[in-house]
Structure 1
Amino acid sequence: MNRFLRLLVCLSLFSVAAIASATNYSLWINGRGAGGVVGDYNNFGYWGPASTDAGVNKKAVNWDGYNSIATQNGKIRDALDCFCTGANWCYIASQSAGDLMIGYTLANYGGSTRMKKNAAPNAAGVCGNADGTAQTGWNIKWVLAAAGAAGGTELADAGAWTTGEPLVRDLRTTTARAMYNHNSTRFVWFYMYAGARGTAYSGLLPGQDDEVVPYHSAGAVSGTAGRAYCNPRDWWCTDLTMGSAVNDDGVPKWSYHYVLFRDDQEAYSHSNRGNWAGIVSVMRSTMVVSAL
């Protein structure tokens, strides 16, 4: 276990000891494409077998993976209200457009007044009030993002997917980057996992990529448009740096964003293949040991 994972474990154990009455939950926010049943937090159809270990008290925050971030965002707020208010705290794992979704949520609603909920959802995924009191924002320990698409993808720019799909319009690089203030995370750290097992059509994507999302997005590189970033052994391409360090071309990452895993061996692709696979497998390993 590297020192970053050890740090997350230590922080998790400290939080458990400090807030003995809290219940911790692991929320999984899907990306583009259907799979899970919206409102059913126990349905992991998008990710893989529900029996797989994926962090303490795991819940699937299902949205339709098709419509726009803005119109589907209420589903994410319902889940955060349910499990991340009052004495309860959340660890969050996201993939692809799920990163755009949670970033949008925190930037636009993370400072709003939320009623404390009872963590007992109805069929629509909505929880009742716990004690009639409110709080500001949600109790979130940290966010993990595998193949994060908060910076968009050139596949959406080029029309590689149907442009009639509302989510695809949101995933255009200039649109995704202008959608909200990516530096406003409400002081919640985003830990990024960037895959690099690209394919032939990856020529549409600048630098290293995982077939769908390039390093500029998966690595949380700031700016109004995508740039080409690669692994250190690729001499003719700018390095995506680890951690929160400024990249080799002087362009910083967004605030409170940290590259925890960079796929130097080019071994991990974008798709989880319905079995917790690809770059998601690396993120899941962190959730297992750190979301306690």
Structure 2
Amino acid sequence: MESVLHMFKQQSYDKRDKWKLDEKDVHINLNKILGKGFNATVCAGTFNEPNISETKSSFNFLTKKSFLDVAIKIPKDFEKENVETFVRELDALITVESHPHIIKFFGWILYENTPVFVLELGTISLLEYSKNFREEKEKFPHKNMLSILWQISQALIYISSKMMIHRDIACRNVLLTDTNVAKLADFGLCCHCNETFIYQATTNKRLPYKWLSIEAIVDNIFSEKSDVWAFGILAYEAYSFGAIPYSTLTCEETLEFLQSGSRLEKPAEAFETLYELMLKCWEKEVEARPKFKDIEKYLRIMLENETFKYGYLALDHSSSTPQEL
């Protein structure tokens, strides 16, 4: 472990070090597990966030502590092969900085010689939120779900502007606050792309196969448009009460199904116009898929037509209809 930690420290640089928190300000509650993934466990915790407030004297500052409930992401095995993954996620979180629809990153600490992330705490995942309506389908929140998709599209426009590809867009990786503000999370597979906005994977990592586009499966090629494909799968999940895509098919059968031109059926709760968007996201030809800025506009017009006002996020209402993407 010491040699692995040394390797991580060797890869550290000033920008990462600036996000290192004081261990005394973070408490980890290992008895309260919030979730478990393939590479990490997420626990509850608290963070005493320092806030600087100016006093009456312009030359003096008073530091106060703000007590926050947070999520602590702990790698399961911090071995050599996981150092690169951790550093990539750390760099992605630093690059993202701050966005209203991306989970907030407070910083990182060393816990028992393992670097861990201190993150904003969500109330519920979009996956669990959707599943909650399986027994009460008549209460499915159509307008609110549409708003959630719109919020996520805003986050993905921002990520794309940073020349980044998320690669793990799924309902399980969207968290909701108690006021249903959507926050995109889990940047463990996120990567920076080249000037052509393409990332060619060279190693076989554990990837969310049934959320992957055809070119990602066959050629290991990722781009904004492969994230667009995954966004379509996320929309399918959200409107089908958290159903697993291609649930009756193996991975090999899924690829054959897609290459034959077949696609997932319209969820019963989805508007026809929303299903049309899903199908556009699943176009075989990469260039035929919309960009996230197009998706955001399409969803915004759908919201306007529903005359739905989402909290503090004001929308300009009109009689527009979604245009063909």
- TM-score, normalised relative to structure 2: 0.27
Higher relative contact order (CA 8 A, sep 6+): 1
Q: Which has the larger radius of gyration?
A: 2
